[in-house]
Structure formats: structure tokens, C-alpha cells
Structure 1
Amino acid sequence: MSLVKFRKRRPWGNLISSDFFDNDDFFDNRLWNKNLNEPALNVKETKDAFEVELAAPGFSKKDFEVTIDDGYLNISAENSSSNEEKEDSYTRKEFSYNSFEKKLQLPDSVKEENIKAKYEDGVLRFNLTKKEEAKTHKPQKIEIA
């Protein structure tokens, strides 16, 4: 089973069966330029786990909220800052606000209770350990008649 970003609509279903291709994300971002502020996401599968990296510079560890709900890994972050400088003849105010939310469907092969997260140098990293039966699973060959 693959790890995919959650989308409510899938007009063509899962036409491409890959662990790392999300056809909705492909069409949304490249044809209509939606969700350009979402952080980049890398997923790497090893024999024992999925390793997920989410690029989120400018945030601190306390800005993130990560939950698991009904087979989905929910990642959200929000931060803001403001600065005000007053002088005799002017007032300068600066502020910024950043937020995002990502929702990833977890494969059945992941041990939800063993998910670990670490935020360092602007990258949020997850280690999604696989269940034992998924580690030894071998593909089945189908003969073509």
C-alpha cells in the first residue's frame, strides 16, 4: 500500500499505482497553480520504514501540531510575528503570518503507535516503522496466459 496525500476528490481514481505519485497534486499544482505555499514533501521507502521529510523553514518546534486520526497523519503549522518601531515622525509596523496543513493517508503496513517525528534545520522528519509482516512481504508473480 502506498503513502498518499489526502484529497477529497479523485476524479480519475488511482490510475497510476505508485508510492510517490499523487495525480491530484500533479494536476492541481502544475495546471492550475494551486497550493503553491504548501511545503515540499519527500517520501523514501526502506525495507523497515517510510522516511518522510517536510520542508518547513521559519517555523519552530512549538508551531507544529501532528496527529493521527482514522489512518491519516495530519500535519499543520502556524506562526506569526510582528515588529513595531516608533520615531518622532513615523511609525513602522511589520508583520508576517505563515500556515499550512497536510494530510497523508497511512498504509496499513505502518505501525501507527511507533511513528516518530523530529524538527531540525527547517525540516520536519518522520520515521514510519513498518509492521513485521510488511517487511517480509514478497510480490506475487502472475503468469500471463
Structure 2
Amino acid sequence: MSPKMQGMVGVPEPHTGWTFITNHARVLAAIADNPNVRIREIAAHCRLTERAVQRIISDLEQGGYLSHTRDGRTNTYRIEPDKVLRHPAEAGLSVASLLSLLVQDETERVSNPVAQVGAPAEHRRREADMDRLLRRRVDRE
């Protein structure tokens, strides 16, 4: 484990292998949660290096998903919520649709760490959210 990753209290150990959510989605969700967030904070939250976060932000800006303004030493980010996702399989789904699931999930985990993902009410809500997104996608085809 790199020295930067050591000592992060409450953050799970590094994971090897694939994950369902990309680093780009994680960074975008962190920015959606706080448009004035610092790169250092994003890196710690997403368990990435600051340089990796800078590259991801650059990718997102070049793709038109994100822009920023600078005021002194502070960046304020603006996400383009109506921009559609890049992959053809998600054609028609917007950034806002993705973020509504990711940011809401993060807010719930932070505000209620005892709640389990498998809790019945939580499970039904997540299923309904995913079902709604998939139905919209099928309707567009």
C-alpha cells in the first residue's frame, strides 16, 4: 500500500480486480456531492492519487461532462446534468440519472452507517430506481 493510502481512517483496504463503478463515476459523484471539493479530498475519498484525480477531471472536462471556474485557490466545478453517457449501451441515459443513484447512495451511507444495503426497504428502493432507469432505456430503443 502506498504511503498516501496508509492511515486513512474508516476507508476500506485497497481492492484488486474489477469493480462495478469506474473511477470516473466516483470522482464525478464526489464533485456532485460538493462542487467546491479539493482534489486532495476527492483522492482520499476515492482512494486514488491526486494525479489520477487530475487526469480524470481533465477527461471529464474534455468530454463536456464537467467544467470549472477558479476563484483564488478554489475551484468550483459545474456538472452538465443533461449530457448523455458515452457508451452505446447507456445511450439516452443522462449524467443526472447516474448521479441520482450514486450521490443518494453516498449520502445515505454517510448519514446512516448502520443501515445495510440488504435492508428490505432499501433493497426495494434500489430495485425501483434501477427498474425505472432500465425501462426508460428500453423505451428509447
For Structure 1 versus Structure 2, the TM-score category normalised by the shorter chain is under 0.3
**Greater percentage in helix:** 2
The higher-RCO structure (CA 8 Å, 6+ apart) is: 1
Normalising to structure 2: TM-score of the pair? 0.24
TM-score by length of 1: 0.23
